[in-house]
Amino acid sequence: DYLYQPWKVLSESEEAKNSFANKVDVFVVDEFQDLNDIQFDLLSFLAGTRARIIVVGDSDQNIYEFRGSKCSHMTHGFGERYEHTTYLIPRTFRYETALQERL
């Protein structure tokens, strides 16, 4: 309910949307692959036309599908809604094999 109720108000009322949109210059969202539809819409409502949105995520690490998260927001939904630049990080330093490659 803590996500649904604000989403419902903002999606049904232009006055409410205008009260909250365009107040922030930059949003940074980590673990973007775990956003669900409501969270993605809330981000869009709050960003309005003013905010820059920086997202970071890995579509191979989506662990919240049980609560409606969708990698598609990251893999194509974000790009369809916003002009953007994508930066790929092809290597990880989390695993020993990657560390061995560095040595």
pLDDT in tens, 68-81: 999 888 888 888 88
User: Looking at residue 24, what is its pLDDT?
Assistant: 96
* pTM of model > 0.85: no
pLDDT in tens, 46-99: 999 999 999 999 888 889 999 899 988 888 888 888 888 888 877 776 665 544
User: Looking at residue 99, what is its pLDDT?
Assistant: 46
Q: Which tokens belong to 73?
A: 């927001």
Distance of alpha carbon 70 from alpha carbon 76, whole angstroms: 11
Write the DSSP string, 12-64. Answer: H-HHHHHHHTT--SEEEESSGGG--HHHHHHHHHHHTTT-EEEE---GGG---
- Mean pLDDT, residues 2-22 taken together: 95
Residue 31 CB-density burial (10 A; 0-12 exposed, 13-18 middle, 19+ buried): middle
Let me know: does 32 contact 55? Beta carbons within 8 Å: yes
Give the residue among 3, 88, 74 at the shortest CA–CA distance from 32: 74
- Which of the two residues, 8 and 83, has the higher pLDDT score? 8
